[in-house]
Amino acid sequence: MDIKDLRIFKTVAELGSVSQAAVQLNYVQSNVTARIKQLEAELHTELFFRHKRGMILNSEGKRLLEYAEEILKRCDEIKREFLNQHAPLGILHLGIVETMISLPGILSSFIDKHPNVNMDLQVGVSENLCQEVVDFKLDGAFVTGPVKHPLIDSCEVFREELIIATKNPSFAIEDAAKIPLLLFNKGCRYRERLEGWLKEEGVVPQKIMQFGTFDTIIGSVAAGIGMTIVPKSSVSSLLREGKLKGYPVPEPFNEVTTVFIHRKDTYITNTLQLFIRELHAWNRS
């Protein structure tokens, strides 16, 4: 049984005639007759009362018609949703790094233009999000670049300055040997920048405390528990209010690039294409 069989059956049922159904469907009459007989053989039951003037559904035929109408309705809905290039529908499964404060502006612009698209957002560290994209678990992700992977395409979204955030009134890199470092789990690119800087300076941290959320890290830093490395934009309000102190990070460890990634060897849906196009437009504005 396939969709064409159900469509032929429904047309014959509505018109009560094989010949009229053949004309409407642009099929040869013998083909319509054969498909109806094949459907009856597959279901092990006759579906019509046959008489000289045409065909009338029997009780089994009426029961099948209810299923056929529902199935064909769903098939038509699928076609409309996937073939409508101007009004994308469905869900975009996206990953984000938690410190990306510009995300609401990017998403709101897209959602305003395409209100029928839903967003499913997963927060994580860059390394894990990259793997989720490779494993087809995410349609795309905003991560800290650069990303060099044979299966991933990326486009730059923006660049940000990294700073050391602490409660202390002063800071020197040697402080990292005494003051606890409050960091995301392994796989965080900000953490990699700090670890690279410490290694270059020959500083060995005394204590590293790992956290899963940005709010917990910043709240702990503001409480004087330790220090961290973050994009300056993510704590700008706390810096203005004097709740945190920010200190510069030297080159080449002081800049991070946020990129949007997706698999390059898979089909890019119309919805994802439009989202990427929106990113390029947002980046140029």
| CATH number reported for the structural domain that contains residue 280 in this entry | 3.40.190.10
Q: Which domain holds residue 45?
A: 3-83
One domain for residues 143 and 264: yes
pLDDT digits (tens, 9 = 90+) for 128-140: 999 999 998 999 9
Alpha carbons 180 and 220: distance in angstroms, whole number: 11
Q: Is the pLDDT of residue 189 over 70?
A: yes
CB 43 within 8 A of CB 5: no
Q: Is the pLDDT of residue 254 over 80?
A: yes
Cα–Cα distance list, 221 to 48, 133, 149, 168, 169 (Å): 77, 32, 34, 10, 13
CB 121 within 8 A of CB 141: no
State which of 68, 83, 98 marks the end of a domain: 83
CA 270, 275, 279 angle in degrees (round to 5)? Answer: 145
Q: Which of 18-22, 64-68, 206-210, 275-279 has the lowest mean pLDDT?
A: 275-279
One domain for residues 249 and 265: no
- Beta-carbon contacts of 134 under 8 Å, excluding residues fewer than 6 positions away, are 149, 151, 152, 263
> Exposed (0-12), middle (13-18) or buried (19+): which is 46, by Cβ within 10 Å?
middle
One domain for residues 266 and 145: yes
Mean pLDDT (the chain, rounded): 89
Looking at the DSSP assignment, which residues form a beta bridge with residue 257? 145, 159
Q: Is the pLDDT of residue 183 over 60?
A: yes
**The model scores a pTM over 0.85:** no
Residue 77: predicted pLDDT: 74
Domain count within the chain: 3
One domain for residues 51 and 167: no
Would you say the C-alpha torsion 81, 86, 90, 92 has a positive or negative sign?
positive
Residue 80: predicted pLDDT: 66
State which of 48, 66, 83 marks the end of a domain: 83
One domain for residues 144 and 170: no
Confidence of residue 270 (pLDDT cuts 50, 70, 90): confident
One domain for residues 151 and 266: yes
What radius of gyration, in Å, describes the C-alpha atoms of the chain?
30
One domain for residues 171 and 229: yes
Q: Is the pLDDT of residue 56 over 60?
A: yes
One domain for residues 139 and 173: no
Residue for token pair 């494993």: 135
One domain for residues 130 and 266: yes
Alpha carbons 237 and 245: distance in angstroms, whole number: 11
Q: Is the pLDDT of residue 85 over 60?
A: no
Residue 144: predicted pLDDT: 87
**Once rounded to an integer, what is the mean pLDDT over residues 199-217?**
91
Closest-CA residue to 35 (of 9, 55, 15): 9
